Amino acid sequence: MGPPPNEKQHGFDKPFGGYVQPKNAASQSAIRNHFVAVTGEFVGTFLFLFFAFLGHQMSVDTAPNTGPNGVNSNQTVIYIAMSYGLSLLVTVWAMYRVSGGLFNPAVTLAMVITGTLPPMRGLWLLPAQIISGICAAAVARGIVPGDIRNVQTTLAPGVSVAQGVFLEMFLTSLLVIVVLMLAAEKSKDTFLAPIGIGLALFVAEIAGVFYTGASLNPARSFGPCVAAGNFQTYHWIYWVGPGLGALIAAGYYHFVKFFNYEEANPGQDASDDEEEGEGGDEEREVGGRGSRDRGGRGSREERGGRGEKWVREERGGRDGKDGREGRDWREGQDWREGRDREGGSSSGYHPGFHPGYTGGR
């Protein structure tokens, strides 16, 4: 089916100027969808790590002082943590509609084993993330002065390999559980998930940069090693640690899902209206009565006889709410009598009546 006769076929508002027609979305193959997601993951991972590496390099090169034994000072650590956390926040928010915004093999692993990402999609995304990390480090090395080895993840003096593995495990578990609970688990605040994810990485970086370099991401550690042509003998901990962290976070996610965590603390995603229910509707009706009802709905409701029912219920004392709010039956009776004198109506309409509300309890 071609375009409508009067529709402009070419222009900058169309993909590729309209000279290449996109395929119908309903007929697009799974392979093509995987390919599009891979491009989004490659671009997103590249942008995330490229700007993070530049921020890291700048923080080290311009640091006014260092810590003991030449390690990064606490001030430098904060700048490094901000570089990675804010870069992740922005790029995830920009690209999550295309690929999911994972940018991390550990996150990809966790989402596959929790069933929130198809295994085939995970197999497509993993190499894209790793290759993109290499490209980001290589471009950062060539585009700014300085030694790319400054952005490598290394153990601080006094930190053992075993300590490094477990620290990376716990740091990664924080990031992954935030991704699973805010992004993979859909809720009313899912659209804000990138903020939580970026802040989670920021917190983890503050805690871990000094001790292990705070990788949390095999692609983040692997790229600079390839670009610099220099691998630490313990480089494997930046694969094993994040992998274990992903397993821990995924295991807890399965645990809370199995025990129906929504019932442990219900109503967290309910709006105010849903929480108030019928009682809230009644309160809003009471608050909105008065001058509105006096504006001309009286005669219609009087003819229906529902105003009389309301007055009878108030006279019988079954509705104490309006009495507590300062509306007594006498005010309604006086108003009705005035109406009777003006229009000859003898039916009972109370100024507190609201259309659709029968006064039933």
Number of Cα atoms under 13 Å in the Cβ half of residue 256: 14
- Token pair for residue 214? 């705070």
Mean pLDDT, range 26-30, rounded to an integer:
83
pLDDT at 64: 79
Mean pLDDT, range 343-347, rounded to an integer:
42
pLDDT at 67: 74
- Please name the residues in contact with 273: beta carbons below 8 A apart, sequence gap of 6 or more: 280
pLDDT at 16: 72
- Residue span(s) of the chain under CATH 1.20.1080.10 come to 29-262
- What is the average pLDDT score of the chain? 80
- What are the pLDDT digits (tens) for 93-118? 999 999 999 999 999 999 999 999 99
* % pLDDT > 70, the chain: 72
- Residue 274's pLDDT band (cuts 50, 70, 90): low
Q: Is residue 247 scored above 60 in pLDDT? A: yes
Query: Are 196 and 109 within 8 A, CB to CB?
Result: no
- What are the pLDDT digits (tens) for 183-206? 999 888 889 999 999 999 999 999
pLDDT at 4: 60
Q: Is residue 242 scored above 50 in pLDDT? A: yes
pLDDT at 22: 76
DSSP 3-state of 249: helix
Superfamily of domain 29-262: Glycerol uptake facilitator protein. (1.20.1080.10)
In the chain, the amino acid numbered 244 is L
Q: Is residue 267 scored above 60 in pLDDT? A: yes
Tell me the whole-structure pTM to 2 decimals: 0.72
State the Cα–Cα distance between residues 29 and 23, nearest whole angstrom: 10
Q: Is 53 exposed, middle or buried (0-12, 13-18, 19+ CB in 10 A)?
A: buried
Query: Are 140 and 48 within 8 A, CB to CB?
Result: no
Q: Please tell me which residue, 74 or 135, carries the higher pLDDT value.
A: 135
Q: Is 264 exposed, middle or buried (0-12, 13-18, 19+ CB in 10 A)?
A: exposed
